[in-house]
A = this chain, B = another copy of it.
Amino acid sequence: MTDARRIIIIGCGAGGGTSAQFARKTDRTATITIFEKGRYPQYSKCGLPYAIAGTVPAFQDLIEFSEEWFQKEHIDIHLGTSVESIDMKNKRVVAQNSSERIEREFDSLILATGATPWIPPIQQIQNNGQLLQGIFVLRTIDDGKQILAQIKKGKHAVIIGAGLIGLEMADTLHTKGMNVTVVEALPTILANTLDEDMSEPVLQSLQLKISVLTNHLAMRVEEHHGAIISLTIKENNTGREKKIQTDLLIIATGTKPETDLAKTIGCAIGKTGGIIVNEKTETSVKDVYAVGDCTEYKDFITNEPLCVGLGSIVVRQGISAGTNAAGGTYTLPPGVILTRTSEFFRMEIAAVGPVKQGMKNLPLVTGKYTGFSKPEYFPGKDSITIKVGAEEQTRRIISAQAVGSNAAQRINTLACAVLGKMTIEEFRKLETAYAPPIAPTLDALTLACDVAALRLDRKRRNP
């Protein structure tokens, strides 16, 4: 008779929490321990903008699995507890919280240490490693609460970064009655999600509600008189500088993987800075798994390494790590397809696969179609634009983007085609669901593929 399997999980975000749940589902007798340095058990980080906006009534509502829930599942959860060291020789973890030092042995270890916000090199933004008063990142419930408190103190907000989180926060702050300016260093918004031709109409819509300054670099926080922040930004092309006064400054310029512990035990770190994991979420160190924002995995299309950072992927890694660590088998596809979506100012956007920018070495042919969610004659129809990308030689669908009605669910259908390595020809013959109040006989999904097919044919004839 063997002793119960011992699994230790470091971090209780979506990755760690999901790992724990699936470890428990796989092995009812395993001893499962979670160490989480923060105060809260598994909660939805992606829900923070909606809790600040008040759409979700309270921050507490974001907690998806409570401390009690884990305890009921006989998962030994330690909040407010930092792991200080990992001893791989004796497979032992040492953790510390305000009242005790905990030493525990493991058979399998799952690193779910997450990521920390990346702070761009803006002069004088930090003082002794602390952001100045009125300047925030959005990563934790505590960040959210501080932002909400600051919103009450003024009317002007600046967000640095026009990615998904930056624009979700722009919507939130606009909802709260603030005048919002978004500063983006790149020439386009949503650069990781949409190609420029797709993001341009979104940008135009945004400009009706807020001010978006693309091609502007945040240079320095020049003065800081009481509660007013003066931010200097520089126009990239002209080099011209200008100052913006704001009551609230949010940095939404991405994250960097938290890998300090992983490095101490020799886990291989990839060129993005994340812990390298394979299809089973195994690291380079035996019996050590890693999941979520601290990891690096392959892009399904380009094979390039990338940091994960999407909740949809994180939970699937958690399923894999928890299942495998507990003696089961769960193998992920050989890469991530990056199905992603967001909604702000009542616009829904979604994408799958790399943006054009990320496919420099792949000969890509695209097809784009703008139509309606319902037949032309049907009242209450909404606009939908679909863009689909196919690899020129194989005609295989490798990317898609959508803006408009049910963008996310439409992208799911194309995501299935990407994962299934379908060609444009196969997909355009897919019967899509049709009924006048719901969708036209030929959905924008199909018609975008028709455009791509025509272009592919033309390229074949005139290479």
> Hey, which bits of chain A sit against chain B, CB under 8 A?
14, 44, 46-47, 50, 55-57, 61-64, 164, 310-316, 332-333, 336-343, 348, 350, 352, 375-379, 406, 408-413, 415-417, 419-420, 422, 426-427, 429-439, 441-443, 445
From A315, which residue of chain B is reached at the shortest CB distance?
B441
From A300, which residue of chain B is reached at the shortest CB distance?
B431
Task: Return chain B residues, CB-CB under 8 Å to A311.
Answer: 434, 441
From A406, which residue of chain B is reached at the shortest CB distance?
B409
Q: Smallest Cβ distance from A301 to chain B, in angstroms?
A: 13
Per a CB cutoff under 8 Å, which of B57, B341, B377, B441 touches A61? Answer: B377
Is A409 in contact with B413, judged by CB distance below 8 angstroms? yes
Q: Smallest Cβ distance from A455 to chain B, in angstroms?
A: 15
16 extra interchain contacts, Cβ-Cβ under 8 A, other than A409-B433, A409-B439?
Answer: A46-B436, A55-B437, A56-B436, A63-B377, A311-B434, A338-B431, A339-B431, A339-B433, A339-B434, A340-B434, A341-B433, A341-B434, A413-B413, A415-B430, A415-B432, A416-B422
Per a CB cutoff under 8 Å, which of B314, B379, B427, B441 touches A56? Answer: B379
Per a CB cutoff under 8 Å, which of B316, B406, B441 touches A429? Answer: B316
Do A433 and B412 form a contact, CB below 8 Å, given A44-B377, A56-B378, A377-B47?
yes
- Bound CA span A164–B434, Å: 12
From A344, which residue of chain B is reached at the shortest CB distance?
B437
Is B56 in contact with A435, judged by CB distance below 8 angstroms? no
Q: How many copies does the complex hold?
A: 2
From A402, which residue of chain B is reached at the shortest CB distance?
B433
Task: Return chain B residues, CB-CB under 8 Å to A417.
Answer: 416, 420
Is A433 in contact with B445, judged by CB distance below 8 angstroms? no
From A18, which residue of chain B is reached at the shortest CB distance?
B441
- Bound CA span A313–B415, Å: 23
Is B429 in contact with A333, judged by CB distance below 8 angstroms? yes
Q: Smallest Cβ distance from A394 to chain B, in angstroms?
A: 15
Q: Smallest Cβ distance from A158 to chain B, in angstroms?
A: 23
Q: Smallest Cβ distance from A104 to chain B, in angstroms?
A: 29
Is A430 in contact with B411, judged by CB distance below 8 angstroms? no
Q: Smallest Cβ distance from A64 to chain B, in angstroms?
A: 7
Is A419 in contact with B409, judged by CB distance below 8 angstroms? no
Task: Return chain B residues, CB-CB under 8 Å to A64.
Answer: 375-377
- Bound CA span A220–B432, Å: 39
5 A-B pairs whose Cβ atoms sit less than 8 Å apart in the complex = A56-B377, A61-B377, A311-B441, A348-B438, A416-B417
- Bound CA span A63–B350, Å: 33
Is B420 in contact with A343, judged by CB distance below 8 angstroms? no
Task: Return chain B residues, CB-CB under 8 Å to A50.
Answer: 378, 436-437
Per a CB cutoff under 8 Å, which of B336, B377, B435 touches A62? Answer: B377
Task: Return chain B residues, CB-CB under 8 Å to A44.
Answer: 375, 377, 436
Is B419 in contact with A430, judged by CB distance below 8 angstroms? yes
- Bound CA span A17–B231, Å: 61
Per a CB cutoff under 8 Å, which of B47, B55, B415, B433 touches A415? Answer: B433
Do A430 and B416 form a contact, CB below 8 Å, given A47-B436, A435-B342?
yes
Per a CB cutoff under 8 Å, which of B46, B426, B438, B441 touches A435? Answer: B46
Is A434 in contact with B312, judged by CB distance below 8 angstroms? yes
Is B378 in contact with A47, judged by CB distance below 8 angstroms? yes
- Bound CA span A73–B313, Å: 49
Q: Smallest Cβ distance from A429 to chain B, in angstroms?
A: 5
- Bound CA span A378–B53, Å: 12
From A336, which residue of chain B is reached at the shortest CB distance?
B431
Q: Smallest Cβ distance from A378 to chain B, in angstroms?
A: 6
From A61, which residue of chain B is reached at the shortest CB distance?
B377
Do A14 and B438 form a contact, CB below 8 Å, given A350-B433, A431-B312?
no
